[in-house]
Amino acid sequence: MSQGTSKALKVCIIGISGKLGRYMVRHCLDRGYEVVGVCREKSVEKLDEFKDSITIFPGMTNERAIIEKAVKGCDGVLTVLAPWGIQQYSSGTAQAVLDYAPSEARLIFSCGWHITKDGRDQYSKGFQRMLRFFTWLARVFRFAEVDDQVEACRRIFASPRKWTVVRGSDLEEGPSEGLPVWSQHIGDPILNSNRTRRVDFALFMVDALSNDKLIHEAPAIVSCQSESAKKHHGDQISDQAV
């Protein structure tokens, strides 16, 4: 996303009313971006504090006609991939963004560490057990489709669009600790601490809009102040320089 023009960059946030979405609004407004967004009608009031500064398109994020209108003319699209309900919510949302965002737009998607781009992530047995249990529970009680978030990312990875899929660690609230560090694979020692402030997950998403090195990457992130990041950040820099 070019920063070189005098016109304010226009960014669409899909899933703007959630916790991650609202943090992303703040980061975008701080940078002087024009912000539009999509959220469920019943959640519009959660954005009252921003109502004079942003434009909202109320609707489900997998409603293609809403997404088509919302992303029009945008330089970047920040999408919160949420697996809620039994309705192909994540894949429907991702597909609409891939189909309707302007061709040169930077597309940034959020998900968790369970997503793998190349199958080379190494998960602990505890993580795999927890994921299997949550996936089963969500299916039985019909409150979420974890597999559909996997399908959404499969479609993104197969797309020639300028995408980045940001994989968040366990999240915590609290003041910013700075831009998270990242690695390509779960299991890399720099990620061991498995914690990121939600406000910094949002910061990484917004920062990715102007970081072309992240195009076609699925960075797994961790707080830059975490123990593992402080211990291994030097390793990461030298690995990525090779």
Ligand X SMILES: NC(=O)c1ccc[n+]([C@@H]2O[C@H](COP(=O)([O-])OP(=O)(O)OC[C@H]3O[C@@H](n4cnc5c(N)ncnc54)[C@H](OP(=O)(O)O)[C@@H]3O)[C@@H](O)[C@H]2O)c1
- Nearest approach in angstroms of CB 179 to ligand X is 17
In the three-class reduction of DSSP (H, G, I as helix; E, B as strand; rest coil), residue 14 is classed as: strand
Q: Closest approach of Cβ 65 to ligand X, in Å?
A: 17
DSSP tag of 108: E
Q: DSSP letter string over 158-214? A: T--SEEEEEEE-SEE-SS---SPEEESSTT-GGGTT--EEHHHHHHHHHHHTT-GGG
Q: Is 41 in the site for ligand X (CB under 6 A)?
A: no
CA–CA distance, 208 with 50 (Å, rounded to integer): 23
Residue 92 interacting with ligand X (CB under 6 A): no
Is the alpha carbon torsion for 20, 203, 189, 112 positive or negative? positive
Which one of 10-18, 28-36, 126-134, 181-189 is the stretch in contact with ligand X (CB under 6 A)?
Answer: 10-18
Place of tokens 């320089």: 241
Alpha-carbon distance 170 to 75, whole Å?
29
CB 185 within 8 A of CB 121: yes
Q: How far is the CB of 171 from ligand X (least distance, A)?
A: 4
Looking at beta carbons, which residue is closest to ligand X? 18
Q: Does 85 bind ligand X (CB under 6 A)?
A: yes
111 near ligand X, rule: CB under 6 A: yes
Judged by CB, which is closer to ligand X: 9, or 20?
20
Closer to ligand X at the Cβ: 2 or 53? 53
Q: 7 or 173: whose CB is closer to ligand X?
A: 173
Copy the structure tokens of residue 137.
């529970």
Site string for ligand X, 165-194 (x = CB under 6 A): ---x-xx-----------------------
- The interface with ligand X within residues 137-166 (CB under 6 A) comprises none
Question: Which one of residues 112, 151, 155, 194 is an interface residue with ligand X (CB under 6 A)?
Answer: 112
Binding ligand X by CB under 6 A: which of 43, 135, 159, 184?
A: 43
Single-letter amino acid code for the residue at 220 = A
Q: What is the contact mask toward ligand X in residues 202 to 231, using x (rule: CB under 6 A)?
A: ------------------------------
Instruction: Work out whether 37 is an interface residue with ligand X (CB under 6 A).
Output: no
Burial class (CB in 10 A: 0-12, 13-18, 19+), 157: middle
Distance between CA atoms of residues 231 and 242, nearest Å: 20
What is the contact surface with ligand X in residues (CB under 6 A)?
15, 17-21, 39-40, 43, 46, 80-82, 84-85, 89, 110-112, 168, 170-171, 198
